[in-house]
């Protein structure tokens, strides 16, 4: 279920399938942290998280010192997290999204708000549209997103706020049935030898990724 895509002496990166929690949660379902720690025969440290509905690259440290170094790199923005998503509607070819996000823990959802207050954090990302298709009477855009902050449901909330929810994301306004079209496709982070970039791609046999097989193959 978890496929190793990179490993060295201090860390290990895996492909997490959509639907699996990154760490233990109230559902009690099998999670990536517990499963990989058991496979490795040692406790691992989760460096960052992916939403349960999001598949793609997830990074773990093998000891506390490595976890501290990678966490510091995250805070200093020396880790680059890039996602692929398919959104409904049209976007300009490229741009930035900067918002104030409120994490409503009772609803388990993030909302864009107009002023800073308790529970509100700044959220920033940049994007570029890779391809556009028409399907099921809708315009769909394959979009590459680079996160500049790591907020709860950030991509999902910011795209939804602009009237372009991610395909399959009913929680944020999509009326297309299916899995949420969001994938952690590339992660660049410092290691002992310098910097490494790990890449992985979604399964392009499934809708809506199947509409963009050619583009995904060349990314």
Distance CA 38, CA 21 (A): 15
User: 8, 29, 31, 51: which is the annotated catalytic residue?
Assistant: 51
Number of Cβ within 10 Å of residue 175's Cβ equals 11
Comparing C-alpha atoms, which of 58, 1, 21 is closest to residue 186?
58
Distance CA 48, CA 22 (A): 9
* Spatial contact of 64 and 45, defined as CB atoms under 8 Å apart: yes
Distance CA 22, CA 7 (A): 18
Say whether the peptide bond before residue 208 is cis (omega within 30 degrees of 0).
yes
**Active-site residue, 51 included:** yes
| Three-class DSSP category at 29 | coil
Q: Which helix (H) or strand (E) holds 213?
A: helix 213-218
* Spatial contact of 111 and 119, defined as CB atoms under 8 Å apart: no
Active site residues: 51
């Amino acid at each position: 279920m978890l496929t190793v895509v990179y490993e060295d002496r201090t860390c290990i990166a895996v492909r997490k399938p959509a639907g699996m929690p990154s760490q233990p949660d109230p559902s009690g379902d099998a999670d990536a942290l517990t499963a990989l720690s058991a496979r490795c025969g040692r406790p691992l440290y989760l460096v960052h998280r992916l939403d349960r509905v999001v598949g793609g690259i997830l990074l773990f440290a093998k000891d506390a010192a490595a976890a501290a170094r990678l966490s510091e790199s995250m805070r200093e923005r020396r880790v680059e997290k890039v996602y692929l998503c398919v959104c409904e509607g049209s976007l300009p070819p490229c741009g930035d999204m900067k918002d104030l996000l409120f994490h409503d823990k009772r609803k388990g959802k993030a909302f864009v708000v107009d002023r800073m207050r308790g529970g509100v954090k700044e959220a920033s990302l940049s994007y570029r549209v890779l391809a556009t298709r028409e399907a099921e009477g809708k315009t769909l855009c394959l979009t590459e997103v680079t996160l500049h902050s790591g907020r709860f449901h950030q991509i999902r909330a910011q795209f939804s706020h602009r009237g372009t929810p991610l395909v399959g994301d009913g929680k944020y306004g999509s009326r297309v049935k299916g899995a949420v079209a969001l994938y952690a496709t590339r992660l660049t982070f410092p290691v002992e030898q310098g910097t490494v970039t790990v890449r992985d791609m979604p399964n392009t046999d499934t809708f809506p990724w199947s509409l963009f097989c050619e583009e995904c193959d060349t990314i």
